[in-house]
Amino acid sequence: MGRDPLAWLRSPCVMGVVNITPDSFSDGGEHLAARAARRTIDRMIHDGAVILDMGAESTRPGAERVDADEQLRRLAPLFADLVRRPPDVALSIDTTRAAVAAAAIEAGAVLVNDVSAGRDDAQMFDVVAERDVAVCLMHMRGQPRDMQDDPRYTDVVAEVVAFLEERIAVAVGAGIAETHILVDPGLGFGKTLAHNLALLSGLERVRRLGRPVVVGLSRKGMVGLLTGRPIEGRLAGSLGGALAAVARGADVIRAHDVGETVDALRVWNAVAGGQA
């Protein structure tokens, strides 16, 4: 048994997003060079992120799949840099491919952020269990390329909770410690604006699963629909959503704008009676 893979988790806290992709909806192309990615990582560390989530496959609506070999090609220079200069915060790998997860863990990742919740690759849970790291299980209906094609639910909160409960059971059955599991309701992943708002309002029901809750709404389409702002103008709306999520039980906010999100959570936490 190694060190606690969730030792970084201090609720509420911020997970910084580092997309090593040409086509992510918000920062696609910005970090394809390892040096640029490292600058972003250094800035996010300085700004107060407690964990950095690296990914080499876009999961924006309409995105096509990227195979493991191409993900590894994009990530390899950054992995080499991180091995030489390990950051002062935890590392997460955003992937549904077991081979990519294994390589990232070798480079120091302590969390696998799997938007498929272990459904895309039958080996994923084995990799997580054998290496004794943590996993974040997210709800998504369909695949990124088709997930926004008229998604429908009878009770979106109940259905998301039931899905996450089932995936937790499968992960535990595969040998993953339940204490190493986080859950994410998957805002924007096969949901309309009404579904996303219902999930945010009902986040306490997700919290009742007993696992730390990750919420990612930074710069997403739901913020654009609510504010009428383009991607570059969605900071204030993203912060409003982050605070609403934390007020309803979110433990980790996944964000592009780390410094501003950290500041917002510090003020919220101080007012709520926590530590400033």
3-state helix, strand, coil in the chain (%, to 5): 45, 15, 45
- Within a domain: residue 48? yes
- Within a domain: residue 139? yes
Output the DSSP codes for 149-205: SS---SSHHHHHHHHHHHHHHHHHHTT--GGGEEEE--TTSS--HHHHHHHHHTHHH
pLDDT at 123 over 60: yes
pLDDT tier, 17 (very low <50, low <70, confident <90, very high otherwise): very high
- Within a domain: residue 275? no
Mean pLDDT, range 168-178, rounded to an integer: 98
Residue 191 among the catalytic residues: no
CB 200 within 8 A of CB 193: no
* Per-residue pLDDT at 265: 96
Span of 1-5, 25-29, 30-34, 255-259 with lowest mean pLDDT: 25-29
Q: What is the mean pLDDT of the chain?
A: 90
Burial zone of 24 (CB within 10 Å; 0-12 exposed, 13-18 middle, 19+ buried): buried
For residue 228 the two structure tokens come to 């009428």
Over pLDDT 90: what percentage of the chain?
74
- Within a domain: residue 7? no
Residue 254 among the catalytic residues: yes
- Within a domain: residue 141? yes
Question: Residue 5 is which amino acid?
Answer: P
pLDDT at 32 over 60: no
pLDDT at 27 over 70: no
User: Angle at CA 270, nearest 5°, toward 265 and 271?
Assistant: 100
Q: At 195, which CATH number?
A: 3.20.20.20
Nearest residue to 90 (alpha-carbon basis) of 22, 182, 185, 171? 182
pLDDT at 176 over 60: yes
pLDDT digits (tens, 9 = 90+) for 82-95: 766 666 789 999 99
pLDDT digits (tens, 9 = 90+) for 205-232: 999 999 999 999 999 999 999 999 999 9
Structural domain of 171: 13-270
Q: Where are the beta strands (DSSP E) in the chain?
A: 13-19, 51-55, 90-94, 111-114, 134-138, 181-184, 214-216, 252-255
* Per-residue pLDDT at 3: 82
pLDDT tier, 28 (very low <50, low <70, confident <90, very high otherwise): very low
Sheet holding 214-216, edge to edge: 181-184, 134-138, 111-114, 90-94, 51-55, 13-19, 252-255, 214-216
- Within a domain: residue 2? no
Report CA-CA distances (Å) from 200 to 160, 205, 213, 273: 12, 10, 11, 22
Domain count, the chain: 1
Residue of higher predicted confidence among 143 and 121: 121
CB 230 within 8 A of CB 266: no
* Per-residue pLDDT at 64: 77
Choosing from 141, 220, 234, 248, the catalytic residue is 220
* Per-residue pLDDT at 151: 83
- Within a domain: residue 5? no
d(CA 134, CA 229): 35
- Within a domain: residue 142? yes
* pTM (2 d.p.): 0.91
pLDDT tier, 48 (very low <50, low <70, confident <90, very high otherwise): very high
CA pseudo-torsion sign 56, 78, 10, 254: negative
For residue 38 the two structure tokens come to 């490292």
